[in-house]
Structure 1
């Protein structure tokens, strides 16, 4: 990319995938002056951040936690607007509720740090003061990660050789080598506290028993900063970014399935031309009617699953990450998803509710161990957006989204509507509904369900080309974090970049927005580690009609 930019900056770009990463990348490239086209295989854009409507219910089908708000705001400011202008954000209180197996007493995580310190003290004498120190550490590591690691393409390691990084070197090494579970256990004894502080590993597609303790930084996000919700649901974020991109001329073509990344011919192994790499020249794709088409472009950015991009869209000799690479990667969990429309109220469930099993380690071993199986009962997550957003459900009803982490195994099957999924998926869903009914004291939950849709790991393969049916992407274990995660630029093809949860910097909506920004850094040859400066001509108010 550096050699190519020196001679001819790209004027046109094609972005593969119209999820939040693809749309964000397209918007930034358009602001950079490129003519951009987004190709999305599904009938609508959104990817994992999708939506499903039925009988007056509006379900978010993917992400549902709004964390790291400053990352969202920075991204919007790069587009000349702000998160406050584009989104109606509400702080949740409680931030979330936790139900523990065998315990009748829920624990509500509050909206402020001081309240959570008091809460921890009530659960374990002395835990309040220890939480203060824990969160001080989380804030320090979070600020360091954001300043030196999250916004880095790692195209050069020289910018990391800064006094603030070198000074913390020994401590950072220790945090990388020690798992989060033992880091927490060394500070707290109450099993409820240990589970609350360990669960953020799931947001990273991993287990607290294998996730580096550096990721205790995640606790700053929910215990100190609080949890927000965008009114209208997370699909609102998609519509806003898509609208901003289209305002700058981006073309979004849905029902368009990319079948091949086109390149110049591979160089011969003899002569001076052997030093020249092939260059991306565009893509082949089929439209919604199945007609084959081609699109030329100076730059190709794949925001699709990295495994699919490399192994299905490129010939073997041009793959930076061929199939043998993935044999040694650790996938994040698969997911059983339930979208339930329920008659009547569900006050025992907060906007976010977590259900934690007593045998915590065994639960994760079943998901990530050598002999995986579906946990029963399972630690799971329930989202009730109708607790906050009246548009999520018709009057007198509740909207429930359930996520059950399961092994990343497509053979578990696909889901369906009104019990129409594979028998194993539907049986698992029945067991989950019964578990929520018992733990949350909703004895007639099953009888009150009026709308039901299930999603299984095979659906993630079919709809999102997800590697091994993983819900999120490669897990954030040590060998798949930061610069170990891989590059966001092809080492075999010039003009081919990658973005999204399966590449840098990792999993989650904020990471996807940062990933889009890293594409811009690659394009500019920018090896800095901090977020890009907001353009001086950015005018607050731009795009207010989105």
Structure 2
């Protein structure tokens, strides 16, 4: 690895989705990019574990928002269909609703047929099928609005978001921001089970239905209208595709490279120092690491946008107990995606978010990728991943005694899944291969308070109120990933990488960049502003016209 700056040298910290995507875009722009990853392989939260013939995703497992994937790869002149082998899931997922005696469960399959779904919902609760049909139509309109106005902007010029076309909708948007998702759902749907169907997306946002703005009802478009897909090989196949793209764009990826400090001179990021003591120079630094870690550990105190005391007001979002297991024999009772919902899930969320206690029973997500992709398990076995939302508490799983407690929790949740899905011998057939606890997220990923997903999407931590993707104290220091705008999730982190590119371009508009980006686009189009040192190094001349998706 060269230690000289060269023209337009950029260091990217972290090989997660945001880091890999940022590196690929900046290298295509003509920057000399080195990506530094602490671990022996890239992936970050979106990791992979291979053990005893089983393959597990150790993080995200839902492939949603296909437009974001298509657009990102198109920026690099690639077709997502060539990068990923995508399989449409049908049913999209199965829900197990806890019954009064907690033995067995009411079961609902959400299929690829919208009409079939509306009829099934109506059979559960007359009138709710039509109500959810209308709710999903509104979700689609809100999703399209988010793509057009909110997701692809840095909010550097907030007023640019509200053009004439948006003004008539401002009263509606104000209501969607000030009212909770849970309240909106409760006003539309009467059956508590179907309310859960519409509200579980809050967990994808690191939160609970009563804590996120009802604008996020747009997420029901993703599963009820757009569909659910699976990339063969698991979500880590996305990481492999990003890694391929980055390498082919010229990114130098260095693993086992742990960054200890971002170096700053005269208020400008000038590189990094590794824990090994080696110092690497750069014209700009992009941190795809957890923002709390970046601000409080990688920067000296005088350069922190948020000093440590300010983080007391920041919500980390939920953590998780993630259990990866192999099961002998078949599991037809469980679909590729299965959700297990407790009756009193308000109490479940209170335990996790407010009381910071471990709930039993719990609302549990179970993934069985071997239902779709037999290569993820040996012959005669099934692949099972169980995710239980947990309090963001890095003490959970931090020592040997606590880890054994986590294992006992895992066995109890396994029994719960077996009871509800009518698999009485599930525990006897199951071998737990690995677990991830809040402590693991805190230590391995440097995640704020051991959160599993990123900063919680409350109103104060969403859209223009979310931590910006550029430092307020250090020039040429930018951020990507789940701690910054626009937020949590694999496709959203892809968008965060594009926002890094837009910052360097001086693009303040709301629309995505044109596809494909021309090679060397940064050399021609960087402007000389507060990122002027990088602009000068790369021979900037003009600002590009705004593109469209």
TM (norm. structure 1) is 0.91
Report the secondary structure of 2:413's partner residue.
helix
Task: Give the deviation of 1:132 after TM superposition.
Answer: 2.1
Q: How many residues align?
A: 511
Task: Give the deviation of 1:115 after TM superposition.
Answer: 2.5
User: Which of 64, 89, 94 is the aligned partner of 1:92?
Assistant: 89
User: Which of 10, 13, 18 is the aligned partner of 1:13?
Assistant: 10
Residue 439 of structure 1: aligned partner: 420
Residue 547 of structure 2: aligned partner: none
* Pairing 1:516–2:497 present: yes
Contact 1:366 1:375 in 2 (8 A): yes
* Pairing 1:228–2:233 present: no
* Pairing 1:284–2:268 present: no
d(CA) in 2 for partners of 1:457 and 1:415? 12
Contact 2:353 2:391 in 1 (8 A): yes
* Pairing 1:343–2:328 present: yes
Contact 1:386 1:393 in 2 (8 A): yes
d(CA) in 1 for partners of 2:116 and 2:68? 25
d(CA) in 2 for partners of 1:234 and 1:421? 29
Task: Give the deviation of 1:244 after TM superposition.
Answer: 1.0
Could you list the runs of 4 or more consecutive aligned residues of structure 1 that deviate by over 3 angstroms after TM superposition? none
Residue 381 of structure 1: aligned partner: 365
Task: Give the deviation of 1:421 after TM superposition.
Answer: 7.4
Q: How does 1:86-485 map to 2 (within 5 A)?
A: 86-102=83-99, 104-265=105-266, 278-286=267-275, 291-369=276-354, 371-414=355-398, 422-485=403-466
d(CA) in 2 for partners of 1:433 and 1:198? 24
Task: Give the deviation of 1:235 after TM superposition.
Answer: 1.1
Contact 2:392 2:451 in 1 (8 A): yes
d(CA) in 1 for partners of 2:364 and 2:469? 32
Task: Give the deviation of 1:113 after TM superposition.
Answer: 2.5
Contact 1:415 1:426 in 2 (8 A): no
User: Which of 63, 67, 72 is the aligned partner of 1:70?
Assistant: 67
Q: Deviations over 1:152-194 (max 9, x none)?
A: 1011123113122211100000011111111111111111100
* Pairing 1:497–2:478 present: yes
Q: Deviations over 1:59-96 (max 9, x none)?
A: 11110000000100100000111111111101100100
Contact 2:19 2:480 in 1 (8 A): yes
Contact 1:415 1:454 in 2 (8 A): no
User: Alpha carbons of 1:321 and 1:10: their partners in 2 closer, same or farther (altered >3 Å)?
Assistant: farther
Residue 543 of structure 1: aligned partner: none
Q: Deviations over 1:389-420 (max 9, x none)?
A: 0111011100001100010001111599xxx9
Task: Give the deviation of 1:434 after TM superposition.
Answer: 1.1
Residue 44 of structure 1: aligned partner: 41
d(CA) in 2 for partners of 1:85 and 1:457? 36
Task: Give the deviation of 1:426 after TM superposition.
Answer: 1.0
Unaligned runs of 5+ in 2: 520-549
Task: Give the deviation of 1:128 after TM superposition.
Answer: 2.1
Unaligned runs of 5+ in 1: 1-7, 266-277, 539-546
d(CA) in 1 for partners of 2:105 and 2:459? 37
Task: Give the deviation of 1:535 after TM superposition.
Answer: 2.8
Task: Give the deviation of 1:537 after TM superposition.
Answer: 5.8
User: Alpha carbons of 1:414 and 1:447: their partners in 2 closer, same or farther (altered >3 Å)?
Assistant: farther
Contact 2:77 2:517 in 1 (8 A): no
Residue 24 of structure 1: aligned partner: 21
Q: Deviations over 1:104-156 (max 9, x none)?
A: 33100111332222222222112222122111211111111111111110111
Residue 529 of structure 1: aligned partner: 510
d(CA) in 2 for partners of 1:435 and 1:330? 30
User: Alpha carbons of 1:527 and 1:143: their partners in 2 closer, same or farther (altered >3 Å)?
Assistant: same
